[in-house]
Chain A
Amino acid sequence: MILQFIKTNILSKKLKNFLTIFAIMISLTLIICIQNISSQLVSNVENQTKEYDLIVGKTGSGIGLALNSIFYYGVPEGNIDINYLEKLSSNKYVKKVVPIGMGDNYRGYKIIGTTPNYFSGDLYKLADGRFIENEQEAVLGSTIAKKGNMKIGDKFKSTHGLGGATEEAEDEDEHHHHDFEYTVVGILEPTNTPNDTVLFTTIETLWHAHGLHHDEDEDHDEHEHNDEEHEEEHEHEEEVEENKVLSSHAIGGAKEEIEDSTALITALLIRAKDMSSQTMLYNELSNDNNVQVIIPNQALREFLNYIKIFTIVITLIASVSVIISIIMLFITMLTSSIEQRKDTSILRALGASRGTIFVINICQMLVLAIIGVILGCILSHVLIAIIGNYIVTNYGLYMSGLVFQKEEVFAMLITILLSLLAGIIPALMVYKTDATKYLK
C-alpha cells in the first residue's frame, strides 16, 4: 500500500516529476556517452596498435601516419622509397616488417596492398577461403562481404583513388576503373576493427593496377638470390629468411621502375624483436630525414590527448547539468514536501510513524532518480549504438552500444547518491512536520 501511495503521489504530479526525470536522464546520457565512447576509442587504439611497435612513413604528421596506417583513415602524406623495405627486412632489430600501400578503392572501400605476412598475427581469422597468395587476389573485410553480399570466387574491378566509403563512389568514378579483375579468395571474420571495412590484396597487384607491369619471375629470382647472399652474413637466420622472402615478394618485378613503384608504398609496419630493439631502431630511423618513424601507440595517444580536452569540457558541462538536475530534484522535493504537509498530517493521524513518512519521501525521490538513471542509461547506449554504427561503417572503428563500462555504473550510482542527498533535507522537513497544524 505504501508503494501504491508513492506511485499515486508521483503520478499525480506528472509534469513536475517528468521534468525532473528528463533532466537527470539527459545529464546522465551526456556523461555516459562521453565516457563510453572515449573509453571504447582508447580500447580500439590499444587493440590496433599492439601488433606493431613502429611505423615508417613519409615525413609529415605523425598522427596522420598513425591514423592512416592503423585505421586506414585519411589520405597518406606520401610514399616512401621501396628500398626501405629491403633494408629493414634485413635489420637485426626487426622481427617482422610489413609494407602497406593504398591508392585504389572498391565501392569507396580502401584496397590495402600488403604481403601475406600481414595476416600472421592473432588479429586475423578467416571466415571463409584463404589469405592472399597471388596477384589479383583479394581478401575482404567482413563488413564489405556482408554489405556487398560477396562470396569466394566473386570478381570485381577496383577504382582509382582512396574512395569515400560510399557505394555511390563507384558510380561517380566509373571512368577510373582499372581493367583487370580481382578474385575474392578469402573473407575475414569480423574483427571489430578498421580491417572489417577494407579489402586486402598483394602490394604487387596495386602496382600492376597502376600499370607497373613487369617480368615478375626474372626479378623475383634475382632478389631471392641477393637475399640468400645477404642471409649468410647474419646470425638471426630464420627471421631474416622470412623477411627476405617477403621483401622479394613485395618488391616483385617493379625494381626497374623504382621511381614509380615507390609511389605505392605508403608505410612500413614494424615489429621489433624486443623493447631495446625498438629503441635502437627508432633512433636509427629518426636520423633519416627522408622518412619519419613513429611509435603508433604513442602517436595515437597523443592524438587522443588532443581530443581529451574536448572530452573534459563536455564532461564538465555534463557534470554541471547533473548538478542542476539534482538541484531541480531538490526543489521538486522541497516544494512537494511543503505541498504534502497536509497529506503527511493525514497519514500521521491514520497511524503512520515519522519513520514511515520519511521512507515514503525518500522512496519517492529515489524512484524519480532511478527512473531518470535507467532511462539515461538506455538512451545513452541507444545513442552509442547509433553513433557506433556510423563509425563502424565509415571508419571501421568498433563501437558497440552493448559495451558497458564500470565508470558509467559509478556515474549512475553517484547520481542516485546525490539525488538521495538532495532528498534528505525535504524528507527531514516532512519528518518534523507537526501533524496537528494541518488537520481540520
Chain B
Amino acid sequence: MINLKKIEMTYDDHGTKINALKLKELQVKDGEKVAFIGSSGCGKTTLFNLISGMLTPTKGNVIVEDIDITTLTESERDLFRANHIGYIFQDFNLFPDFTVLQNVVLPMSFSKRYSKNEMEKEALSMLKRVGLENKKDQKVKTLSGGEKQRVAIARSIVNKPNVILADEPTGNLDYKNGAKIMDLILQIAKEEKATLLVITHNNSQLELFDRSINIEDLNEAIK
C-alpha cells in the first residue's frame, strides 16, 4: 500500500518559494497498476520522487509498505529505495560503458542483501526474463533503444522491489517497441506482484492499467 497524506512540496528557487505539489490524499493498493497522466510540470515526477524517497515533502507523510519514509534519515531512505523501489526512466539512465550484466548488478550492491555470487546469478536470471541473457557481456552503448529499456527493466526488478515507478518508459521508443516494452513492464510487475505506477502521455495505453489518475485534478498547487 502506498499512502500519501496531506502532502505539500515546496521548492526554494533563489529565495522564491514555488509550490510544486499539494494533495490531500493518494492511496494505491498493493499490486495495483496505476497510470499517471497530466501535462508537463503538473507534479507527476515530483510525486514519484516523493514515493521513492528521493525527495521529502515539506509537509505531510509518505507511507510505503507500512513505512513512513518521511520519518527516515536520508541514508535509511537510500536503503529503503534500494530494497523497495524499482525505477524505470524515459532516458533509460544506464551506464553506457558498462556491460549489460554490470548495469543490472549495480543496484544490488546498494541493497546490501546479496553476496557477489548471488548478485550475478540473480542478475542473469533477470536478463533471461527480459530476453537479453545472450547480450550480458555487451556494452550498453551498443544496444538499441528497446534493448536498453529491457536492461533498465531488468535492473529495476533485480532487488525484488514492492513498487515499480516508471517515468514515461516508452517516451523514447517507437510505437511498436513502446507497446512491447509496456507489455513487458506489466507482465513483470504482475509476476513480481509489485505495485506499478507509470507516468505516460500515451492515452492508448491507459486501458492496460487498473486505473489512471490525472495529477492535474489532484494537485491543488496548480489549480
Question: Could you say which residues of chain A place their CB within 8 Å of the CB of B78?
Answer: 348, 351-354
Given contacts A11-B97, A343-B95, A440-B89, contact A435 B105 (CB under 8 A): no
Question: Could you say which residues of chain B place their CB within 8 Å of the CB of A226?
Answer: none
Q: Kindly provide the distance from the CB of B201 to the nearest chain A CB, expressed in whole angstroms.
A: 13
Closest to A346 in B: B93
Contact indicator B89/A439 (Cβ below 8 Å): yes
Given contacts A353-B74, A436-B49, contact A346 B95 (CB under 8 A): yes
Closest to B105 in A: A1
6 further A-B pairs in the complex, CB-CB below 8 A; given A346-B93, A440-B93: A8-B97, A351-B82, A351-B159, A352-B82, A353-B78, A436-B55
Question: Could you say which residues of chain A place their CB within 8 Å of the CB of B108?
Answer: 1
Q: For the complex, is B33 an interface residue (Cβ under 8 Å from A)?
A: no
Contact indicator A1/B74 (Cβ below 8 Å): no
Neighbour of A350 across the interface among B55, B97, B107, B119, CB < 8 A: B107
Within 8 A of A (CB), among B72-92: 74-75, 78-79, 81-83, 85, 87, 89-91
Question: Could you say which residues of chain B place their CB within 8 Å of the CB of A439?
Answer: 89, 93, 167
Closest to A349 in B: B87
Residue interface mask A333-354, B partner, CB < 8 A = 1: 0000000001101111111111
Contact indicator A350/B75 (Cβ below 8 Å): no
Contact indicator A350/B106 (Cβ below 8 Å): yes
CA–CA, A352 and B95, complex, Å: 15
Question: Could you say which residues of chain A place their CB within 8 Å of the CB of B90?
Answer: 440
CA–CA, A343 and B103, complex, Å: 12
Within 8 A of A (CB), among B12-29: none
Contact indicator A349/B110 (Cβ below 8 Å): no
Binding site for A on B (CB under 8 A): 45, 49, 52, 54-55, 74-75, 78-79, 81-83, 85, 87, 89-91, 93-95, 97-98, 102, 105-111, 119, 155, 159, 167
CA–CA, A69 and B138, complex, Å: 70
Given contacts A343-B95, A354-B74, contact A8 B110 (CB under 8 A): no
Interface residues of A, count at CB 8 A? 26
Question: Could you say which residues of chain B place their CB within 8 Å of the CB of A149?
Answer: none
Q: Kindly provide the distance from the CB of B7 to the nearest chain A CB, expressed in whole angstroms.
A: 16
Q: Kindly provide the distance from the CB of A363 to the nearest chain B CB, expressed in whole angstroms.
A: 14
Closest to A5 in B: B106
Neighbour of B93 across the interface among A11, A342, A436, CB < 8 A: A342
Given contacts A1-B105, A436-B49, contact A351 B93 (CB under 8 A): no
Q: Kindly provide the distance from the CB of B78 to the nearest chain A CB, expressed in whole angstroms.
A: 4
Closest to B85 in A: A351
Given contacts A436-B55, A439-B93, contact A351 B49 (CB under 8 A): no
Question: Could you say which residues of chain B place their CB within 8 Å of the CB of A347?
Answer: 106, 110
Contact indicator A353/B75 (Cβ below 8 Å): yes
Contact indicator B102/A4 (Cβ below 8 Å): yes
Within 8 A of B (CB), among A339-373: 342-343, 345-356
Binding site for B on A (CB under 8 A): 1-2, 4-5, 8-9, 11-12, 342-343, 345-356, 435-436, 439-440
Question: Could you say which residues of chain B place their CB within 8 Å of the CB of A342?
Answer: 93
Neighbour of A349 across the interface among B52, B109, B159, CB < 8 A: B52
Q: Kindly provide the distance from the CB of A8 to the nearest chain B CB, expressed in whole angstroms.
A: 5
CA–CA, A1 and B120, complex, Å: 11
Question: Could you say which residues of chain B place their CB within 8 Å of the CB of A355?
Answer: 75
Contact indicator A1/B52 (Cβ below 8 Å): no
Question: Could you say which residues of chain B place their CB within 8 Å of the CB of A348?
Answer: 54, 78
CA–CA, A354 and B73, complex, Å: 12
Contact indicator B110/A351 (Cβ below 8 Å): yes
Contact indicator A349/B98 (Cβ below 8 Å): no
Q: List 6 A-B contacts (CB under 8 A).
A: A343-B95, A345-B93, A350-B107, A351-B110, A354-B75, A439-B89
Given contacts A349-B87, A354-B74, A440-B91, contact A12 B97 (CB under 8 A): yes
CA–CA, A435 and B89, complex, Å: 14
CA–CA, A354 and B106, complex, Å: 16
Q: Kindly provide the distance from the CB of A358 to the nearest chain B CB, expressed in whole angstroms.
A: 12
Q: Kindly provide the distance from the CB of A216 to the nearest chain B CB, expressed in whole angstroms.
A: 85
CA–CA, A351 and B53, complex, Å: 10
CA–CA, A107 and B144, complex, Å: 74
CA–CA, A347 and B54, complex, Å: 11
Q: Kindly provide the distance from the CB of B18 to the nearest chain A CB, expressed in whole angstroms.
A: 14
Nearest first, the 3 A-B pairs at minimum CB distance are: A351-B82, A351-B110, A1-B109
Closest to B171 in A: A440
Closest to B159 in A: A351
Q: Kindly provide the distance from the CB of B90 to the nearest chain A CB, expressed in whole angstroms.
A: 6
Q: Kindly provide the distance from the CB of B173 to the nearest chain A CB, expressed in whole angstroms.
A: 14
Contact indicator A351/B107 (Cβ below 8 Å): yes
Question: Could you say which residues of chain A place their CB within 8 Å of the CB of B94?
Answer: 346
Given contacts A435-B54, A440-B90, contact A350 B95 (CB under 8 A): no
Question: Could you say which residues of chain A place their CB within 8 Å of the CB of B74?
Answer: 353-354
Most B CB atoms within 10 A — which of A1, A343, A345, A352? A1
Q: Kindly provide the distance from the CB of A57 to the nearest chain B CB, expressed in whole angstroms.
A: 70
Question: Could you say which residues of chain B place their CB within 8 Å of the CB of A356?
Answer: 110
Q: Kindly provide the distance from the CB of A398 to the nearest chain B CB, expressed in whole angstroms.
A: 49
CA–CA, A318 and B90, complex, Å: 50
Q: Kindly provide the distance from the CB of A186 to the nearest chain B CB, expressed in whole angstroms.
A: 65
Contact indicator A349/B106 (Cβ below 8 Å): no
Contact indicator A349/B102 (Cβ below 8 Å): no
Question: Could you say which residues of chain B place their CB within 8 Å of the CB of A4?
Answer: 102
